[in-house]
Structure formats: C-alpha cells, structure tokens
Amino acid sequence: MPPTAEEAQRRLETLPSTFRATFVGILIGICISIVAAVSSEADIRTAKYQRKLTIEQKVGIAGVVFVILVIIGAVASTLPQSSRSAASVNSWHNVSTFSGGSSNANTTTFYIKGSESRLQWSYTTTRPEIALFSAFLYRDGDPYGPVTQAVCRDVNTDVPYSCPQPNSSGETGTAYINYGPNTFYLQVISTVTSWNLTVQDFY
C-alpha cells in the first residue's frame, strides 16, 4: 500500500532541503504528465487493440494526482524561507540607550528576545587617576546577583577581580551578553566624567 500524504510529508521533511526541492520538481513533472495523458484522450490505444479506461481506473488516476499535489504543497511548506521567498535577514536592533556621569545608577529594564545580544559602551574621563567604569547585567527579579560583568575598567589593580586600566581620556567597546531571551537591567558603577550604553538585540 502506498504511503499516505501525512507519512510522505514526514519522510520528506527528514531530507536535505536541496534534495526536497529537486524532488518537488520531479513530482510536478510527473503530475503534469499524468494530467496531460488523462485530459488529452479518454481512450488508450495501442497498435493491436483499443482499451477504454474504466471508471475505477480514472478514479485511481485522479487519486494519485491529488496525493501528488498534497505532497508538493506539504514539501514546499517545509523548504527554507529563503527558497520560497526573499526572507528577511537577521540584523542588530537597538533596544535601549542609557547615559550618565560620575555616579552609580541602575537602568530601567529592557527585554532581549534574541539569543544574541550585545552592549555598545563608551566613556570619557578627565581624571584617569581615579577612573572606574563597570556595568553589571542583571535578570529582572533574579535575587542571585548579576549574570555577568559586561564592562570593567578600573584604575585600581590591587583588587582580586582586577580589570583593565581605563584609557587616559576615554574608550569605546563592545561586550556580548548572550543571555536572552529575558528581561534585564544594568547596574553601572562610575567615577568617569560621562558614559553611554546601547543595548542591541540580534533577530
């Protein structure tokens, strides 16, 4: 007994997308050939005799055509979006931007929906001898402390968690914070003159 349309779809979904696309083309060709054969002439002739298709045979052919069409639609729905239409390409999107000066602050919450995200950061300072700039990432409502220290610049190198020393006048950088999807906020510790943070989400 031939497989049902559902079984055929499950089998085809396990095939590579390029093979599925080729197979869809073959099925379309077979379908067109069958329809042309049935619609062009109801009788099938040979050189020696003429045999008329029975009602059961015609119904059988129509059933085969229907199953092929169902399979074509099912396989086409499993093809990658790029092979069906011009798919949108993932890109970086600005989520939130925060800024401040020489004081500590907690930002408002922001939501990251992608699995990739990053923090574009910068600061300026007129007193590098006392400069400190750190940004800790927290999950909103999580009582267990920060997820990560995304940015760390500290003139003090004697502490156990020693960070790179700050630049004499300022600096820019990028920190990847791939902990989404979730709702977060940033805790900023700063003695620099000014700082800026931009959260970006990749989707």
* Percent above pLDDT 90 for the chain: 47
Q: Mean pLDDT lowest for which of 44-53, 137-146, 150-159? A: 44-53
Q: How far is CA 147 from the centre of its chain?
A: 23
Taking the domains of the chain in order of start, what are their residue ranges? 5-84, 92-202
At 15-26, the pLDDT tens digits run: 555 555 565 566
Quote the mean pLDDT of the chain.
78
Tens of pLDDT along 89-119?
999 999 999 999 999 999 999 999 999 999 9
Return the CATH number of the domain spanning residue range 92-202: 2.60.120.200
pLDDT tens profile 24-72: 566 666 656 665 555 555 454 544 444 555 776 666 676 766 767 666 6
